[in-house]
Amino acid sequence: MTNPLYDVAIVGAGPAGATCAWYLAKQDIRVLLLDKAKFPRDKFCGDAVIPRAQRHLKRMGVLDQMVEAGECLFTTSGGFVSPAGIECLSDSTENPSGTPMSVKRIIMDERIVRAAQSAGAELVEEVAIDKVAFDEQAGTWSAHSGSKRFHARTLVLADGAHSKLARSLGIVQNSPGAICSRSFIEGGTHSFETDGICYMERDLLPGYAAIFRHPNDELNFCTYIIPGGKAVPSDLKVLHQGLLDQNSIVRRHLGSGYKIEPMKGAWLRLGGIPKSYADNLLIIGDAAGHIDPLTGEGIQFAMEGAEKAAQTLIEAFRVGRFDEQFLSAYQDKWHKEFGSKFGLAEKASQLMARYPELVDSMAKVANQRDDEFFFAWADIMMGEAPWSAFLRPKLAIPMAAAAVRELWTQRFSPSRRRVAATGA
């Protein structure tokens, strides 16, 4: 019996691959979704899912399922702690743009895969694809797993941050540059009072640590190491443990005697790859570097990029064109939607690493202003408002004034210089 020829084969059934499969199957495209794991499968993550991703989950019916089953928690209380230890906490229940939610990936990812299957995608689990090859004459791709072969007119690579398959084709050339840890803390064993807090430690910037609460009171503690600061990926274990043992605010928030699992860690590919297409081929999600260089978050871009890839392929099938020139429209689409902001996000992260005082000044301003100020700031961080919103007088004036004041006090004031000179 000959192998069937699918319209699209997708390697990797994480949020990127499964969402892409859902959008394609909804338009009656014949989709094959391949994953080396068997679902439900875990994925090391901070488990924070922002409103941009929630919109796709809503469309797929997955958000309502999770809310109904009590599997997710909307993060309405929390905020951040600045490098100088200023706690900036707020209640964002009233934010009209919504709030992040936490959900375990072992739950969410399976629900997305099942939605894709219900829409008509065919799922094959426990197949680790070790090679992909393009038959130029036939204009088809084959995906190989040992002696098994899968054939499709087009191929979507959604195999995560290592991008092993795109690297094997020479389209992606480097290793992922950022890393993040995760440890669950058992519910009922800690004294954490809010839903989520980011800890912006001086030595970790532009990375940070975060705690998010799950509906069952379990906590997710993770530590992001983002390039550009003092910390390097090999410091992960030491910094993760150091925060738990030595950061007095983390210690106060968690209390003593909590039960925590051993640290896990995984890589992040930040900032988007320069080319995410080839003949009959697209690359999406972490494999395409669709992670925010400032926050390290990528679920929303995995899903938005997946939708853009599906739109491009649906159009390709409509006109019967699969060459790389035609498929380059996908790169333009994701770049316009979110990729064009990656450069600025990277610069902002470098600035934070160089001048941690700026984060202190933001915390001070936010603590002095009303909720509206906090929401405006949160909207920019969640990608609900453009970065240019920082230039609105309501944000720009108090923030600029506070930044100058903070830099002066912490770096340049005569008393500060005296302290530095005497070492006192």
Ligand X SMILES: Cc1cc2nc3c(=O)[nH]c(=O)nc-3n(C[C@H](O)[C@H](O)[C@H](O)COP(=O)(O)OP(=O)(O)OC[C@H]3O[C@@H](n4cnc5c(N)ncnc54)[C@H](O)[C@@H]3O)c2cc1C
Q: Applying CB under 6 A, does 59 fall inside the site for ligand X?
A: no
Q: Which amino acid is at 280?
A: N
Task: Write down the least CB distance from residue 404 to ligand X, Å.
Answer: 33
Q: Applying CB under 6 A, does 129 fall inside the site for ligand X?
A: yes
Task: Write down the least CB distance from residue 2 to ligand X, Å.
Answer: 23
44 vs 258, which CB is nearer to ligand X?
Answer: 44
116 vs 299, which CB is nearer to ligand X?
Answer: 299
Q: Which of 239, 268, 281, 402 binds ligand X (CB under 6 A)?
A: 268
Q: Which of 7, 35, 379, 384 binds ligand X (CB under 6 A)?
A: 35
Q: Applying CB under 6 A, does 44 fall inside the site for ligand X?
A: yes
Residues 387, 175: Cα–Cα separation, whole Å: 29
Q: Applying CB under 6 A, does 32 fall inside the site for ligand X?
A: no
146 vs 255, which CB is nearer to ligand X?
Answer: 146
> In the sheet where 219-225 sits, what is the strand order?
87-91, 77-81, 196-199, 208-213, 219-225, 178-185, 264-268
DSSP 8-class letter at 405: H
Q: Calculate the alpha carbon distances from 87 to 207, 376, 381 in Å.
A: 17, 18, 18
Q: Which of 6, 9, 12, 243 binds ligand X (CB under 6 A)?
A: 12
Q: Which amino acid is at 194?
A: T
Q: Which of 6, 15, 201, 365 binds ligand X (CB under 6 A)?
A: 15
Residues 162, 42: Cα–Cα separation, whole Å: 17
Q: Applying CB under 6 A, does 5 fall inside the site for ligand X?
A: no
Instruction: Identify residues 143-172 at the interface with ligand X (CB under 6 A).
Output: 158-160, 164
Q: Tokens 């202190």 label which residue?
A: 360
Contact window for ligand X (CB under 6 A) among 9-17, 184-192, 200-208, 343-351: 9-17
Residue 110 near residue 40, CB atoms below 8 Å: yes
Residue 381 near residue 390, CB atoms below 8 Å: no
43 vs 190, which CB is nearer to ligand X?
Answer: 43
Residues 380, 147: Cα–Cα separation, whole Å: 49
Q: Which of 5, 27, 36, 311 binds ligand X (CB under 6 A)?
A: 36
190: number of Cβ within 10 Å? 22
Q: Which of 9, 29, 32, 45 binds ligand X (CB under 6 A)?
A: 45
Q: Applying CB under 6 A, does 218 fall inside the site for ligand X?
A: no
Q: Applying CB under 6 A, does 43 fall inside the site for ligand X?
A: yes
Q: Tokens 């398959």 label which residue?
A: 165
Residue 288 near residue 305, CB atoms below 8 Å: yes
14 vs 271, which CB is nearer to ligand X?
Answer: 14
- Beta bridge partners, 208, equal 224
Instruction: Identify residues 240-259 at the interface with ligand X (CB under 6 A).
Output: none
Task: Write down the least CB distance from residue 365 to ligand X, Å.
Answer: 25
Instruction: Identify residues 276-305 at the interface with ligand X (CB under 6 A).
Output: 285-287, 291, 297-300, 302
Q: Applying CB under 6 A, does 14 fall inside the site for ligand X?
A: yes
Residue 224 near residue 176, CB atoms below 8 Å: no
Contact window for ligand X (CB under 6 A) among 12-20, 60-68, 79-87, 347-355: 12-20
3-state secondary structure of 127: coil
Structure tokens of 108?
């969410």
261 vs 323, which CB is nearer to ligand X?
Answer: 261
Residue 204 near residue 80, CB atoms below 8 Å: no
Task: Write down the least CB distance from residue 151 to ligand X, Å.
Answer: 16
Contact window for ligand X (CB under 6 A) among 38-46, 191-199, 225-233, 410-418: 38-46
- Beta bridge partners, 185, equal 219, 260
CA 383 to chain centre: 12
Residues 87, 80: Cα–Cα separation, whole Å: 6
- Beta bridge partners, 214, equal none
Task: Write down the least CB distance from residue 367 to ligand X, Å.
Answer: 25
268 vs 363, which CB is nearer to ligand X?
Answer: 268
DSSP 8-class letter at 3: P
342 vs 373, which CB is nearer to ligand X?
Answer: 342
Residue 281 phi, psi dihedral angles, 5° rounding: -145, 135
The residues that touch ligand X, with contacts defined as CB under 6 A, are 11-17, 34-37, 43-48, 128-129, 158-160, 164, 180, 182, 222, 266, 268, 285-287, 291, 297-300, 302
